[in-house]
Amino acid sequence: MARPTDEQRREMLVDMVTARVQSQRTWNLQRQGQVGTMAPIEGHEATVVGAVHALDPGHDWVLPQYREPIALRRYGPEILEHVMLYNIGHPAGGHIPAPIRVLPYQISLATQIPHAVGLAWGLTLQDDPGVVLVFFGDGSSSEGDFYEAGNLAGVLGAPVIFLCVNNQWAISTPVHRQTAAESFAAKAAAFGFPGVQVDGNDVDAVYDAVQTARERALAGQGPTLIEAVVYRLGPHTTADDPTRYVPAEEIEAAQGRDPVLRLCAELEEAGLWDDAVQAEVEAAALTALDAAFEAAKSTPLATDAMLDHCYTEDTQRLARQRAGLLAGAGHSGVGPDGVVGSHA
Ligand SMILES: Cc1ncc(C[n+]2csc(CCOP(=O)(O)OP(=O)(O)O)c2C)c(N)n1
Ligand SMILES: [Mg+2]
For the chain, what is the domain count? 2
Return the minimum-mean-pLDDT range out of 239-243, 283-287, 327-331: 327-331
Whether residues 293 and 310 fall in one domain: no
Query: Is the pLDDT score of 291 beyond 50?
Result: yes
Q: Identify the pLDDT of residue 325.
A: 87
Q: How far is the CA of 27 from the centre of ligand 1 (A)?
A: 19
Average pLDDT, the chain: 93
pLDDT by residue (tens digit) across 92-135? Answer: 777 788 889 999 989 999 999 999 999 999 999 999 999 999 99
CATH of the domain at 290: 3.40.50.970
Which residues, by Cβ under 5 Å, contact ligand 2, an ion?
137-139, 167, 170
Whether residues 234 and 343 fall in one domain: no
Task: Tell the residue nearest (CA) to atom 20 of ligand 1.
Answer: 170
Residue-number span of the structural domain to which 332 is assigned = 303-344
Return the minimum-mean-pLDDT range out of 119-128, 184-193, 316-325, 327-336: 327-336
pLDDT by residue (tens digit) across 144-183? Answer: 999 999 999 999 999 999 999 999 999 999 999 999 999 9
Would 1 be classed as within a structural domain? Answer: no
pLDDT by residue (tens digit) across 234-273? Answer: 999 999 999 999 999 999 999 999 999 999 999 999 999 9
> Is 140's C-beta closer than 6 angstroms to any atom of ligand 1?
yes
Burial of 341 by CB count in 10 Å (0-12 exposed, 13-18 middle, 19+ buried)? Answer: exposed
> Is 109's C-beta closer than 6 angstroms to any atom of ligand 1?
yes
Q: How many residues does the chain have?
A: 344
Whether residues 171 and 244 fall in one domain: yes
- Boundary residue ending a domain (280, 299, 318): 299
Q: Identify the pLDDT of residue 333.
A: 44
Q: Per-residue b/e over 178-205, b at no fewer than 16 CB within 10 Å?
A: beeeebbbebbeebebbbbbbbbbbbbb
pLDDT-derived band of residue 329, with 50, 70 and 90 as boundaries? low
- Boundary residue ending a domain (283, 299, 315): 299
| Residue to mutate (ligand 1; options 47, 171, 229; most atoms within 8 A of CB) | 171
Whether residues 206 and 102 fall in one domain: yes
Whether residues 322 and 200 fall in one domain: no
DSSP string over 58-117: TT-EEE--SSSGGG-GGG-TTHHHHHHHHHTT-TTTT-PPTTS-BPPP--STTTHHHHHH
SS3 sequence, 29-50?
HHHCCCCCCCCCCCCCHHHHHH
Whether residues 179 and 140 fall in one domain: yes
Q: Are 199 and 190 in contact (CB under 8 A)?
A: no
Whether residues 255 and 341 fall in one domain: no
Sheet holding 132-137, edge to edge: 61-63, 132-137, 160-166, 224-229, 195-199
Whether residues 168 and 313 fall in one domain: no
Would 282 be classed as within a structural domain? Answer: yes
> Is 67's C-beta closer than 6 angstroms to any atom of ligand 1?
yes
Who wins on pLDDT, 49 or 329?
49
Whether residues 26 and 167 fall in one domain: yes
